[in-house]
């Protein structure tokens, strides 16, 4: 099986693919979160991996991020569309909105976050971690679908699986972060190490605990997140499908040269 575009997201995205076939893939970093499905969208070969497994049994800190990215790399993927739920740390980012990420801040710990931890050292730049070309295409695709979509946001990535205390949330909000999530890192950084373009499409499912006092509802609960996600998923699926169709066949960004000056020389 081969694919040019990868999608990482929830199990609801299986229905995107036409004539999908699933297979087990073993990488040198272990198995990915689940079987990898490869099918067609608009005539293009697309691979899909459910980040938390098909039955959502893998918590954020246990996701096999390296195996997921490596499996897509082995299939020939050079662009990834990644979807996920986020909480709002900024009242301007409202529940139900779709947001295209452009920056992250990492506060996770203990995660395997590089492919270069033996024999070779790489210092890959993540100054601009998300592909500008893909984000521009996504913005145009959202406009064509008449979807409300913000084109930029910073996301704070925490380890999870617990949600923040109010004190933590207020602190994060005061730092100027827009959104909070548990899975963007190291996924986006690993994609950069494999020279794969990556776009993060976020669904705002809740207001984080610390901004409840400025207009949000009760502190976030998993039930609230899943209910809001269910309402938004069809719009995000439509957007992902449109992005696949709208992407130019050749990449016009710099993601493919991410390793050009990153590898340390002996």
Residues serving a catalytic function are 206, 208
Q: How far is CA 260 from the centre of its chain?
A: 24
Alpha carbons within 13 A on the beta-carbon side of 210: 22
Residue 122 DSSP class = B
- Does the CA dihedral 34-232-241-143 come out positive or negative? negative
CB count, 10 Å around CB of 65? 25
Q: Give 133-145 as a DSSP string.
A: HHHHHHHHHHHHT
Smallest CA-to-CA distance from 176 within 155, 157, 159 is with: 155
What Cα–Cα distance (Å) separates residue 162 from each residue in 130, 149, 165, 181?
Answer: 26, 28, 9, 11
Q: Where are the beta strands (DSSP E) in the chain?
A: 5-9, 18-23, 36-41, 44-50, 79-88, 98-100, 103-106, 149-150, 154-157, 179-181, 197-207
d(CA 223, CA 225): 5
User: How many residues are present in the chain?
Assistant: 266
């Amino acid at each position: 099986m081969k694919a040019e575009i990868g999608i990482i997201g929830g199990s609801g995205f299986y229905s995107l693919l036409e004539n999908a076939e699933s297979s087990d893939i073993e990488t040198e970093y272990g198995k990915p979160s689940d079987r990898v499905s490869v099918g067609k969208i608009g005539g293009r070969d697309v691979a899909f991996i459910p980040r938390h497994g098909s039955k959502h049994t893998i918590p954020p800190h246990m996701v096999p991020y390296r195996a997921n990215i490596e499996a897509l790399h082995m299939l020939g993927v050079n662009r990834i569309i990644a979807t996920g739920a986020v909480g709002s740390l900024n009242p301007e980012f409202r529940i139900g909105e779709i947001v295209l990420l452009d920056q992250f801040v990492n506060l996770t710990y203990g995660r395997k976050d590089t492919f270069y931890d033996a024999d070779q050292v790489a210092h890959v730049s993540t100054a601009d971690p998300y592909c500008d070309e893909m984000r521009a295409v996504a913005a145009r695709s959202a406009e064509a679908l008449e979807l409300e979509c913000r084109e930029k946001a910073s996301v704070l990535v925490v380890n999870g699986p617990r949600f923040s205390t109010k004190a933590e949330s207020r602190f994060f909000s005061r730092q100027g972060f827009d959104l909070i999530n548990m899975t963007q890192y190291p996924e986006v950084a690993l994609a950069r190490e494999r020279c794969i373009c990556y776009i993060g499409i976020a669904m705002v499912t809740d207001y984080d605990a610390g901004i409840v006092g400025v207009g949000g509802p009760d502190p976030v609960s998993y039930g609230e997140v899943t209910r809001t996600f269910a309402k938004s998923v069809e719009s995000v699926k439509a957007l992902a499908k449109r992005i696949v169709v709208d992407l130019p066949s050749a990449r016009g960004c710099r993601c493919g040269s991410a390793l050009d000056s990153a590898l340390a020389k002996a």
